[in-house]
Amino acid sequence: MEVGRRTFMKGLIAAGSILAGIKSIKSMPSIFSLVENQIQGQEKIKMVHTLCLGCNVRCGIRVCVDAATERILKAEGNPYHPNNTGWEPIPYDTPVKESLKHVGPICLKGQNFVVDHVYDPFRIRVPLKRMGPRGSMKWKPIDWEQLITEVVDGGDLFGEGYVEGFRDIRNFEVAANPEVLDKEFAVKANQVVLLRGRGQPGRIEFLRDRWLSLLGSPNFIAHDAVCANGVQTAHKYMTLIGAGKYEGQDRVVTSDDYVDQMRVDLKHAKFIIAFGDPYSAGQPAITPAGRILARRIAENELKLVHVAPEAGNVFVNATKWIPIKPGTDGALLMGMIRWIIENERYNKIFLENTHEKAAKNDGETAWTNATHLVIMDENHPHDRKCLRDTDLGLGTAGKYVVIEKGTTEAKVFDTVEHGELFYDGYVTNAVTGAKIKVKSSLSLLKEKAFEKTLEEWAEVCGISVEDIKWLASEFTGYGKSAGILVYRVFGSQPNGVYAIMALVSLHMLIGNINWKGGYLKTADFPWTRGIYDLTSFPGKVTPKKAKISREGFKYEDTLEYANKSAEQKYPARKPWFPKSYGGLWTEVFESMRDKYPYACKILITYFGNPIYVLPGGHRYIDVLKDRDKVPLHIAIDTTISETSMYADYIVPDVTGVEGSYGIMNPYPPNLARWVGVRVPAIEPLTQKTSDGRPICAETFAIDTLKKLGLTESLKIKKPDGTFTNPIGRAEDYYLRAIVNLAKNAEICVKPTDEDIAFVEENYPVSFVSYAKSILSSEEWKKVCFIIGRGGVFESIEAGFHPRGIHKYGKNNMFKFWVEDFGTLKNSLTGKKFWGTAQYIPIQTMKGLLLDELDAAYKYTLISYKAPFHTQSRTIAYRWALEVLPENTVEISEEDADREELETGDLVKVISASHPEGVVGRVQVTKRLRPGVIAIMFHYGHWAHGSEDYEVDGRVFKGDLKRRKGIWVNKLARVDPDTKAPVVDPISGASTTGSYRVNLVKI
């Protein structure tokens, strides 16, 4: 008997074979009721609802702690949290005692996190100072007060000469580098640089806005370049309403208003195209998405198409797998755009709306600039800018201009409701009679989509033309209930920004923005203001804005540009990225190496391992070892990583279950307002200061500021305008943030005695006692209500209006033509970028095609994440290593036959930039497109517990299991123009694959 797919999937779900497909999360008993006899009664176990940090999906967890030993036993999913319940949590007002009867799933990363991250045998718990040269792995413990004195006051700290401390660098009068930047933009204080790894809202605001800004530095550089920078850059500028700008909106915008990420509503969409494997290894990830998808596909509610060179785990549930050539995702999307325009399958009513009032009249909350005219005349001073009323003598406000629907007459955009979508012609200045060549935004996108036939687009992608037609037809066949999902995938390729623009443009074409089943943003409750104003404090400093990474600042505003002759303005010494979302770690290291645009004096690395996670990160080891390039390096870390091994000092940090506080919503889509809260589940294991505070990132920040005499700036503003006592420990800040959250989250009902008792009996004693000492009784009750549930979570129904409009949607203009890109010049060539989505082959900063440069290399390399690992730190996850002790060189059956390779053979993988190659074992697979080599990330460590190190003469032997496998980043392609690893020319995003390699059998 043949079993149909639907019957098979239903059987798996009914049997509980797929964890993500459990039928009813609410009916599952907690582990405590199952094994109560074995643990001698539930009262012996403490339970804390908090947030996972096994990766960055931000699921809830219930940490189970042995009351006698205070040691973590395990974790469960928090049934209040949407991510742990397939977005169907128990009602928020469910009493906490009742909630213990329910449990949600968590993935393997969550279980590993609560045990192996905390109890890692290579965990650093005391402050360390290097004893030998950087990288020698020889350390000695250092007294906390002595460490603070040394890094603040500087001195001959290592017998190697004078080292400037924070006090020396905190100078607002001396220019950082007067040859490149005026001191209006960069002073000596800018030379403190912090590289932020895993960021958690709450901690980010404290460390960036309170600590680093008081030091006077803008250089709080996140890790986005190796994460979602390409996605964020495209979304930001396609939705941006600048401070004080008018884009047709009804409201007044006082600060930049944009959305940096949106995603398809997987709970209600009927057709989803998933690029890569975001439902397994990215975001929304397996815990929330796996259950939702498995059930919906089994019930024939959803078609899911998987587009990737390698069939990821999402393939198990997918309707279809399309094995595309690496790096050509944008070409597929442009082909879909062509088919949709050619067949008029776009949402004409939505696209014709010219401003917000027109959109509202049609039942929409967002609108586009599809009809807005763009000047396309190289001789016009405003070439590639959107046409304004001032260009035609129609007004003085600088408003956009459209061709009124059904006419050829140019009108100011907010004087008409609907405009012509496809216009290519001239308009006339009403005063001078001069004609100006213009095209509508949608016409400019059409031009790029029509540069190739569908057959040509298919050839670029290496897929069937019928696949493009089918995808476009299906995508436009479900009204607003369709979408495309990408976590980062092609956003982290050198053509990533334009590919993401194509993705967003497709959602705009079907008009599904802010609709149930469509394209949604996140939603949350604010917490920086409410009862306490965490953003206002005495002595607040606004740092000078030019960052060392050359992000967010125009080359044309530098003294380097100003001092060059007109004929020699370009190239800049290094590329600048004024429209990047930011987080350009590669550029930081390049800048530190060449002291351009200025030098780094103090480097702080926090919760990150850039040497390991950066493509080509090994190229920067020499930078970290060079005391001239990096005079002082302070690492805030939990272990000695491939980066912190080159530090001068290591400040031990707490882990997520000890006090790495966070107040954060999950990533989009959020169907309603969801904010998880992370608080300690156990007492911190790091050494304490002489006054009893756990040493961690916040303690380091607080004590350095106090040593600098900035104690007054650590105060928090109260409702009456007075200030609290100075912040002395992390809880002083975060507990008041939770008080604010309670005020702003109106769904918080009146706390009961049970809520308070649950927290006071289960949560760490020091946390509870300190909280009660600084908060009023009423504040504490409200805090207990929230942290006892792990956050604040609305029901899905509360997130939508009856017609299906998302209450918390982004009510902005979405832009097909992005003027910010279309007028932006490449700082190396002086040529302008293009302003709509387009497909460009993978290339260097100056436009050299990598496929042509590397034509002698037969294979295209891709790398990917595993569902049981995340980034660099999870090599400590024992159970993950039991699942897969090492990664492999994955190759298709066809290629393996041609190369005469079998699973288990040793091969060397070589690239143009790393001819020495890396060695690994072959894994022959059916899941890979021929011509592609795949290597999983996470493996091939040479620190992080894999290497011996010495503390005070005692040698700690490394665990060789952590050294196994291949470090794929060593193969990264270097740009011959910049001599740095290849990046996206607009965003600066690092390239994690899609470059060419060869195989050599050993």
pLDDT band at 15 (very low <50, low <70, confident <90, very high): very low
Which residues, in sequence order, are CB contacts of 589 under 8 Å at separation 6+?
610, 614, 619, 620, 623
**Residue 550, pLDDT score:** 99
Q: Give per-residue pLDDT as tens, 184-205.
A: 999 999 999 999 998 889 999 9
Contact at 8 Å (CB) between 862 and 326? yes
Task: Quickly state the pLDDT bin for 274 (edges 50, 70, 90).
Answer: very high
Q: Which residue has the higher pLDDT, 710 or 873?
A: 710
- pLDDT for the residue numbered 936: 96
Looking at residue 368, its amino acid is T
- The secondary element (H helix, E strand) that includes residue 260 is none
Nearest to 425 by CA among 474, 390, 374, 471: 374
d(CA 48, CA 105): 16
Model confidence band, residue 24 (pLDDT cutoffs 50, 70, 90): very low
Domains of the chain: 128-228+550-645 (3.40.50.740), 263-520+810-819 (3.40.228.10), 842-1001 (2.40.40.20)
pLDDT averaged over the chain?
A: 93
SS3 at position 196: strand
Question: Residue 128: exposed, middle, or buried by beta-carbon count in 10 A (0-12, 13-18, 19+)?
Answer: buried
Taking only the tens place, the pLDDT of each residue in 364-380 is 999 999 999 999 999 99
Residue 358: its H or E element: helix 356-361
Q: Is residue 473 predicted with pLDDT exceeding 50?
A: yes
- Mean pLDDT, rounded, for 923-930: 97
What are the backbone angles phi and psi of residue 210, rounded to the nearest 5°?
Answer: -105, -50
Work out the number of other CB atoms within 10 angstroms of the CB of residue 71: 12
CB-based burial, 492-513: b 16+ in 10 Å, e otherwise: bbbbbbbbbbbbbbbbbbbbbb
Residue type, 202: G
pLDDT band at residue 31 under the 50/70/90 scheme: very low
The predicted pLDDT at position 38 comes to 35
Over residues 783-796, mean pLDDT? 97
Q: Is the bond preceding residue 571 a cis peptide, omega within 30 degrees?
A: yes
User: Quick count: other Cβ atoms within 10 Å of Cβ 639?
Assistant: 24
Contact call for residues 771 and 730 (beta carbons, < 8 A): no
**Gyration radius from the chain CA atoms:** 28
The b-or-e profile of 228-267 (16+ CB within 10 A means b, else e) is bbbbbbbbbbbbbbeeeeebbbeeebeeebbbbbbbbbbb
Q: How confident is the model at residue 37 (pLDDT cuts 50, 70, 90)?
A: very low
Helical packing angle, 753-762 and 777-787, nearest 10°: 70
What is the C-alpha separation between 587 and 593, in angstroms, rounded? 10
Lowest-pLDDT range of 14-23, 492-501, 522-531: 14-23
pLDDT of 545: 95
- Extract the tokens encoding 710: 């900035």
CA torsion 413-418-422-425 (nearest 10°) is -50
Distance between CA atoms of residues 656 and 860, nearest Å:
38
What confidence tens digit (pLDDT) does each residue in 447-458 have? 999 999 999 999
Inform me whether the pLDDT recorded for 13 exceeds 80. Answer: no
pLDDT of residue 9: 33
| The token pair that represents 934 in the structure block | 């795949």
Q: Which residues, at least 6 apart from 147, have a Cβ–Cβ distance to it below 8 Å?
A: 127, 129, 649, 651
CA distance 418 to 406: 9
Give the DSSP letter of residue 846.
T
Q: Is the pLDDT of residue 77 over 90?
A: yes
Share of the chain above pLDDT 70, in %: 96
Residue 8 has pLDDT above 50, yes or no: no
Pair of tokens at residue 164: 């400037």
Asked if the model's pLDDT at residue 21 lies above 50, the reply is no
Distance CA 219, CA 553 (A): 13
In angstroms, the CA 794 to CA 466 distance is 43
User: And the tokens for 676?
Assistant: 């998880």
Helix 697-707 vs helix 144-153: crossing angle, to nearest 10: 60
pLDDT of 675 over the 50 cut:
yes
| Cβ atoms of 923 and 889 closer than 8 Å | yes
Choice among 275-289, 447-461, 541-555, 825-839 with the minimum mean pLDDT: 275-289
DSSP 737-792: HHHHHHHH-TT-----HHHHHHHHHHS-HHHHHHHHHHS-HHHHHHHHHHHTTTEE
3-state DSSP call for residue 217?
coil
Per-residue pLDDT band for 280 (boundaries 50, 70, 90) equals: confident
Tokens 């993705």, residue located:
503
* 225-272 pLDDT, tens digit each: 999 999 999 999 999 999 999 999 999 999 999 999 999 999 999 999
Please say whether the beta carbons of 417 and 361 come within 8 A: yes
Arithmetic mean of pLDDT, 44-53: 96
> Quick one: pLDDT at residue 4?
35
Assign residue 182 a region (left: φ > 0; alpha: ψ between -120 and 50; beta: otherwise).
beta
The single-letter DSSP state of residue 456 is H
Only one residue has tokens 């019930």, namely 299
What is residue 2's predicted lDDT score, i.e. its pLDDT? 30
Q: In this predicted structure, which of 146-155, 513-522, 662-671, 831-840 has the lowest mean pLDDT?
A: 662-671
**b/e per residue, 805-835, with b = 16+ CB within 10 A?**
bbebbbbbbbbbbbbbbbebbbbbbeeebbb
Residue 62 has pLDDT above 80, yes or no: yes
Cis preceding linkage at 29, omega within 30: no
Confidence (pTM): 0.94
Decide: 240 and 255 in contact? Cβ < 8 Å: no
Question: What is d(CA 857, CA 103) in angstroms, rounded to the nearest whole number?
Answer: 51
Q: Please check the confidence at residue 725 and state whether its pLDDT lies above 90.
A: yes
In the chain, what is the greatest distance between 2 CA atoms, to the nearest angstrom? 91
* Cβ–Cβ under 8 Å, residues 502 and 334: yes
Do residues 42 and 32 touch, judged by C-beta distance below 8 A?
yes
Looking at the DSSP bridge assignments, the partners of residue 909 are 918, 999
Angle between helices 697-707 and 730-744 (to 10 degrees): 110
Range 810-816 average pLDDT? 97
Question: How many other C-beta atoms lie within 10 A of the C-beta of residue 708?
Answer: 18
For residue 764, is the peptide bond before it cis, meaning its omega torsion is within 30 degrees of 0?
Answer: no
For residue 112, what is the DSSP state? H
Up-side HSE of residue 697: CA atoms within 13 Å toward CB?
Answer: 33
Give the length of the chain. Answer: 1002
Query: What mean pLDDT comes out for the span 123-130?
Result: 98
Which residues does residue 64 pair with via DSSP β-bridges, in sequence order?
A: 47, 74
CB atoms near residue 387 (< 10 Å): 26
Check the CA dihedral 15-18-19-20 and report its sign: negative
Nearest Cα neighbor of 920 from 974, 968, 867, 871 is 968
Per-residue confidence band for 43, with pLDDT thresholds at 50, 70 and 90: low
Q: What is the dihedral of CA 220, 224, 226, 228, to 10 degrees?
A: 180
Q: Determine contact, residues 194/553, Cβ cutoff 8 Å.
A: no
